[in-house]
Amino acid sequence: MAFQGNGEHPEDLDVDFVHTGPDTLAGRYIRLFWQPVYVSGELKPGTAKPIRLMSEDFTLYRGEGGTAHLVASRCAHRGTQLSSGWVEDDCIRCFYHGWKYDGTGQCVEQPAEEEGFARKVSIRAYPVREYLGLLFAYLGEGEPPPLPRYAELEADGLLEIDTYTRGCNFFTSLENTPDEVHVAFVHRSSAFTEHGLNFDLPTISAEETDYGFVQYGTRSNGKARVTHFYMPNSRYIKGSPDSVGEGWIDFVSFRVPVDDFSFKSFNVKLKHAARNGQQVTNLGDDSEEVQRIAEMILRGECHVDDFKDHPRVVNIQDSVSQIGQGVIPERMRERLGRSDVGVILLRRIWARELRALAAAGPLKAWSHPEDLVATSGV
C-alpha cells in the first residue's frame, strides 16, 4: 500500500471502534473472540474476584477443587455483588441471603426460600479456559469458537507473564503496534537503543493476512522487523531481551478494554531455553506507579527523561505518548503520513468488520497459522 502523506485520512473514522460496552458495535465485535481476563496464578482456589471488562462487571472465582468460573456480577435475588460472598466446593454463595450458584450460573440453593424456586433462577455464566498462564473467557453470545493456540509461545523455556492497566482507550494501544517509528523517539532513552532497534528510522509497510496483518519495518540495511497483528486486539513481536547477551524473545500482548477510558494489557513473553517444558512466572503489575508518573509528566511537573533509569521506563514512555493523545483521541484532527500505513490498515480492517457486523453481513473468519515467526530486524 503506497501512501504519499497528504495529511488527511478520515475515511474510516465514521466507524466507532473506541466504545466497547455491551450494546456497542465494537463491543459486540470484540466479544466474538476469546479474551484473557485474569492471570491464572493470581486466582487462588476458594476465592472470588470482581472484574470489569469492556464496561461490564463479572464475578470470577476458582472452586475449591481448582476450576475457574466466570459468572454475572450480581446475585439474581437482590443484586448483591457476588464476589463478596463465599466459594464453597465449585459454587459461589451470595453474601446477603446465601443463594448459591454453580459454575454454569444455575442457582442450586436458597436457604430461606421454598423448594422449587432455586431451579427457576440462574445467572449468566461464561466459558473459561486456562492457557499460557492466563484465564481466557468467551463473553459473546452463542457457541464460543475454539480457543486459539499460540504455537510461538508453546516452545520450551520460561514463560513470563505480566499485566498493566493504562488510563487510555485500548484502541490507542492497538494503533501503537504497527507504529514502529515511535520507537526511535518515545523509547530513545531505553534498552531499545542499546539493543540496536533505534539505529535508524524504518520504512513501514503492512499487508492484511488470514490472522490480521503483518507489518514490516525495513531498515536502511535492508533488514525488516516483522510484527504480526492478530485480530482483533493482540500482537506478536520479537521482543528485546532484558539485557544484552540474552536471546530475543517471543512476545504476545493482548489489549483488553476495561472500560472506554482504560485497558488492561496481558503480556506473555517466552524466553527460550534448552529444558523440557515450560516454567511460568508471574512478574506482577505495577500500573499504579507507572500511571502516577505518567500523569506527573503530563501535568508538566517533570520530564520523561527524568525516568531513564526506572525499571519500567518503556511502560512509562508508552503511557506518556498514549495517554498524552487524550484518553480518547480526537482522530478527526490528525494529519497522517506514509509512516502511518500500518495504523491506516488497522483502522480499515476494523472499520470494514464493524460495518459488516452492523449490516449483519459476513465477517472475515480469521485463522491463526502455526508457523508464524516474528523477527527483530537488527
Q: Is 39 in the site for a copy of itself (CB under 8 A)?
A: no
Number of residues that bind a copy of itself (CB under 8 A): 62
With contact defined as beta carbons under 8 Å apart, do 133 and 40 qualify?
yes
Give the residue with the Cβ less far from a copy of itself, 80 or 106.
80
Pairing relationship of beta strands 234-239 and 224-230 according to DSSP bridges: antiparallel
Q: Torsions phi, psi of 268, nearest 5? A: -125, 120
Considering only residues 305 through 364, tell me which ones interact with a copy of itself, judged by CB under 8 A: 320-321, 324-326, 329-331, 333-340
Positions in 272-301 near a copy of itself (CB under 8 A): 297-300
Between 184 and 203, how does the x/- string for binding to a copy of itself read (CB under 8 A)? xxx--------------x--
| 23 near a copy of itself, rule: CB under 8 A | no
The smaller minimum CB distance to a copy of itself, of residues 46 and 144, is found at: 46
Tell me which amino acid residue 303 is. H
Shortest gap between Cβ of 110 and a copy of itself (angstroms)?
A: 7
CA distance 375 to 85: 47
Q: Which range of residues in 72-80, 130-138, 242-250, 285-293 is near a copy of itself by CB under 8 A?
A: 72-80
Q: State which residue, 22 or 361, has the beta carbon closest to a copy of itself.
A: 22
Q: Which is nearer to a copy of itself, 33 or 99 (CB)?
A: 99
The span from the first CA to the last CA of the chain, in angstroms, equals 24
Over the window 83 to 122, marking each residue x when it contacts a copy of itself by CB under 8 A and - when it does not, the resulting string is xx--------xxxxxx-----------xxxxx--x--xx-
Q: Does 69 bind a copy of itself (CB under 8 A)?
A: no
- Nearest approach, Cβ of 22 to a copy of itself (angstroms)? 14
Nearer to a copy of itself, 93 or 368 (CB): 93
Cis-peptide into 10, omega within 30 deg: no
Is residue 55 within the footprint of a copy of itself (CB under 8 A)?
A: no
> Nearest approach, Cβ of 333 to a copy of itself (angstroms)?
6
Instruction: State yes or no: residue 79 binds a copy of itself (CB under 8 A).
Output: yes
Looking at beta carbons only, is 154 or 259 nearer to a copy of itself?
A: 259
- Closer of 51 and 174 to a copy of itself (Cβ): 51
From 10, 45, 50, 66, residue interacting with a copy of itself (rule: CB under 8 A): 50
Residues in region 118-157 near a copy of itself by CB under 8 A: 120-121
Among 13, 16, 32, 49, which residue interacts with a copy of itself (rule: CB under 8 A)? 49
Contact string 199-238 vs a copy of itself (x = CB under 8 A): --x--x----------------------------------
3-state secondary structure the chain: CCCCCCCCCCCCCCCCCCCCCCCCHHHHHHCCCCEEEEEHHHCCCCEEEEEEECCEEEEEEECCCCCEEEEECECCCCCCEHHHCEEECCEEECCCCCCEECCCCEEEECCCCCCCCHHHCECCEECEEEECCEEEECCCCCCCCCCCCCHHHCCCEEEEEEEEEECCCHHHHHHHCCCCCHHHHHCCCCHHHHCCCCCCCCEEEEEECCCEEEEEEECCCCCEEEEEEECCCEEEEEECCCCECECCEEEEEEEEEEECCEEEEEEEEEEECCCCCEEEEECCCCHHHHHHHHHHHHCCCCCHHHHCCCCCHHHHHHHHHHHCCCCCCCHHHCCCCHHHHHHHHHHHHHHHHHHHHHCCCCCCCCCCCCCCCCECCC
80 binds a copy of itself (CB under 8 A): yes
153 vs 336 by CB, closer to a copy of itself: 336
b/e code 309-334 from CB counts within 10 Å (16+ = b)? ebebbbbbbbbbbbbebeeebebeeb
Residue 5 makes contact with a copy of itself by CB under 8 A: yes
Which residues of the shown chain bind a copy of itself in the complex (CB under 8 A)? 4-7, 47-51, 74, 76-81, 83-84, 93-98, 110-114, 117, 120-121, 179, 181-182, 184-186, 201, 204, 297-300, 303-304, 320-321, 324-326, 329-331, 333-340
